[in-house]
Amino acid sequence: MDRQKYKQVVDTFFEWNQEELTKIFSELLSAVAAEKSLTPAQIMSQNYETARDNPEIHSRPGNLKDARDSIFPYFWGTDSWNNPLHLENVRGPANQASLIGAIACLLKNPNLCTDRYSQRSNELEVKAITALANLIYYHTDDPWGVFTIGGTISNLYGAKIGLERVVPGAMQKGLAGERVVGICSQASHYSNQTIAGWLGIGTENSIEIPTDENLSMRVDLLDSTLDQLYKQRIKVAYVCATFGTTDGFGIDDVQAIRECVERQCAKHNMPKPQIHCDAAVGWAMSMLTDYDRLNNPLEFSPGLLERIEKVQRANVGLRYADSVTIDFHKMGRSHYPSSAFIVNHREDLKYLARSVTDTPYFSDADPRRDPALFTLECSRPGIGPYAVIASLNGIGLVGWQMLLARGIEMAELLKERLSKLEYCKVLNRETLGASVNWWVLPKGRNAEEIFQRIIRNELTSEQLDRYRKEIRHLFDKRLKTMNPELDARLGFTTSYGYCPHGNELPGWKAVFFNPKTTDAMVERIVASIEEL
């Protein structure tokens, strides 16, 4: 080997060249800043065949600028969602305190599996989990948890604990042909189907409970479903409640769900399932729990204070969950991945535990603190805790309360304006949060009357299909005719979560996660609809 050439590679890529790195970071930041002058990007054309046929691995060693150049076209071709006209889904721009945390993490690159691989970064994870648990459970005694690669994996942890609760030893022996089910709401995230399949329960054993008009699981139907299942001695591994559905921000009554489950388990002498709460979208509302509505230090409007009172009442329900999923990269406006799985009582992690002999790679792991002995992942990045602690402490509780209240305020403004149009129907009028779902029908139609006829089951399937097509057609028409410099990019869902008589209902969608979206942009949404 040519030792001089080897040294050149080491010096270029493994010695800190602060001047060169700072220059490249500055160039990338400048490129992001330039997006301010651009409209929200359409989905750019992609040539996957060319990407596959031209992997472009250079033959000779290069330098850091070569690394920059090789990724820059794709970096430039990826929308950062910083534009305030982005309202399509539960995603907003990542805050810059989070950026500082993420960069700090990447510079050290810890693996949160054990103390040996993460050192004080593991301590930071404990700090972040405890801070979040105290917000969600309101100063709980013995919480624990880990950051994961996404909300689906966090929900999987809750479901797996439930499976081990009701089928002890399933980790080692499997289900042995025993039928086990999981329960969620009809408006819950589709990851519940994924989880049932991956756990071996089977997607056909993922039972969806219908919701009411506010996208909340009907506890009366949960009660009758549990009664029927337990009469057949069918075990329920978990009941997954939702705190903030993805489309319309429906919130399940977790306290009522727990009371229902415990009553039915006692009645039939069946093992208790895990009460898991998917709060990936809505968890951040817990930061409004302690807002002083009487003194109102942030001078919120009377209407907004009424909404915050309802939020505070809903937050109480989180305390009745055995475990919770949060996604800080949603309402926390943080960097991916910033998902976490949190248990109310640390002892519940025993259902996931392995011994050191099961993990010879981590032979020095300490079961009192090393997550590798119960996590699904052997490699867990530290971006989550770094981004979370930087964001929480950089912005501060008061800052977060302002951000959350503004999102609610914007959603309420759009709901009020749309409700004045006869041919529009706000579908989630009473839900809390920053999401709005609605219909736009041709002028001359009475959207509310049509909606009520659906609830009364008075429409034929042909009539219902015609209305669905009209709603989609007008959405597509606006998309084609909109002014990208003025008109917000909206989302569309084929089923927003409420399915009267089994009929899935579509809806337009706006989600106010971007703190820079203005009242004028909301007014422009309404104007663009009127122009249709």
pLDDT tens figures, 175-224 = 988 999 999 999 999 999 999 999 999 999 999 999 999 999 999 999 99
Identify whether residues 70 and 142 lie together within a single domain.
no
pLDDT for res 176: 86
- Taking alpha carbons only, the member of 113, 196, 211, 114 closest to residue 155 is 196
Q: Which residue has the tokens 């792991």?
A: 365
Identify whether residues 19 and 140 lie together within a single domain.
no
Domain boundary among 301, 326, 343: 343
**What total of structural domains would you count in the chain?**
3
In percent, the amount of the chain with pLDDT more than 90 equals 83
User: What does the pLDDT look like over 448-501, one tens digit per residue?
Assistant: 999 999 999 999 999 999 999 999 999 999 999 999 999 999 999 999 999 999
Cα gap 292→305, rounded to integer Å: 10
Identify whether residues 304 and 419 lie together within a single domain.
no
Task: Check: CB of residue 156 under 8 Å from CB of residue 197.
Answer: no
Task: Check: CB of residue 315 under 8 Å from CB of residue 285.
Answer: yes
Identify whether residues 145 and 278 lie together within a single domain.
yes
Task: Check: CB of residue 363 under 8 Å from CB of residue 103.
Answer: no
Q: Is 82 exposed, middle or buried (0-12, 13-18, 19+ CB in 10 A)?
A: middle
- Residues of the domain holding 32: 3-80
Domain assignment present for 370: no
Supply the pTM of this predicted model. Answer: 0.95
485: CB partners within 8 A, 6+ apart: 39
DSSP string spanning 95-137? PHHHHHHHHHHHHH--BTTSHHHHTHHHHHHHHHHHHHHHHHT
Identify whether residues 311 and 172 lie together within a single domain.
yes
φ/ψ of residue 508, rounded to 5: -75, 160
pLDDT for res 430: 96
Domain assignment present for 277: yes
Residue 192: C-alpha distances to residues 159, 292, 503 (Å): 9, 37, 20
Identify whether residues 156 and 277 lie together within a single domain.
yes
Task: Check: CB of residue 439 under 8 Å from CB of residue 475.
Answer: no
Q: Is the pLDDT of residue 43 over 70?
A: no
The first and second tokens of residue 494, run together, are 């084929």
User: What does the pLDDT look like over 113-168, one tens digit per residue?
Assistant: 888 888 899 999 999 999 999 999 988 888 999 999 999 999 999 999 999 999 99
Cα gap 452→425, rounded to integer Å: 11
pLDDT for res 429: 97
- Mean residue pLDDT of the chain comes to 94
Domain assignment present for 88: no
Strand partners, 489: 86
Q: Kindly state the DSSP code that residue 297 receives in the 8-state scheme.
A: T
Q: Is the pLDDT of residue 98 over 90?
A: yes
Q: Is the dihedral of CA 398, 400, 406, 408 positive or negative?
A: negative
Identify whether residues 185 and 309 lie together within a single domain.
yes
Q: Kindly state the DSSP code that residue 502 receives in the 8-state scheme.
A: G
Q: Which pLDDT band, with edges at 50, 70 and 90, does 285 fall under?
A: very high
Q: Which pLDDT band, with edges at 50, 70 and 90, does 373 fall under?
A: confident
Q: Which amino acid is at 25?
A: F
Domain boundary among 294, 315, 343: 343
Domain assignment present for 367: no
Q: Which pLDDT band, with edges at 50, 70 and 90, does 297 fall under?
A: very high
Q: Which pLDDT band, with edges at 50, 70 and 90, does 34 fall under?
A: confident
Highest mean pLDDT among 33-42, 169-178, 298-307: 298-307
CA angle 355, 361, 365 (to 5 degrees): 50
User: What does the pLDDT look like over 311-370, one tens digit per residue?
Assistant: 999 999 999 999 999 999 999 999 999 999 999 999 998 998 877 777 777 767 777 778
Strand partners, 327: 339
- CATH number, domain with residue 447: 3.90.1150.170
pLDDT for res 57: 82
Q: Which pLDDT band, with edges at 50, 70 and 90, does 378 fall under?
A: confident
For range 271-282, the mean pLDDT = 98
Identify whether residues 411 and 276 lie together within a single domain.
no
Q: Using N-to-C axis directions, what is the helix angle for 191-199 and 151-166, rounded to 10°?
A: 50
Task: Check: CB of residue 298 under 8 Å from CB of residue 423.
Answer: no
Identify whether residues 173 and 320 lie together within a single domain.
yes
Identify whether residues 161 and 64 lie together within a single domain.
no
- CATH number, domain with residue 309: 3.40.640.10
Domain assignment present for 103: no
In percent, the amount of the chain with pLDDT more than 70 equals 98
The first and second tokens of residue 501, run together, are 């008589």
Domain assignment present for 218: yes
pLDDT for res 44: 61
Domain assignment present for 101: no
Domain boundary among 325, 343, 361: 343
Q: Which pLDDT band, with edges at 50, 70 and 90, does 45 fall under?
A: low
Which of these ranges, 27-36, 104-113, 433-442, has the smallest mean pLDDT? 27-36
Strand, helix or coil for residue 57: coil
Identify whether residues 267 and 181 lie together within a single domain.
yes
pLDDT for res 344: 94
Identify whether residues 319 and 181 lie together within a single domain.
yes
Domain assignment present for 106: no
Q: Kindly state the DSSP code that residue 230 receives in the 8-state scheme.
A: H
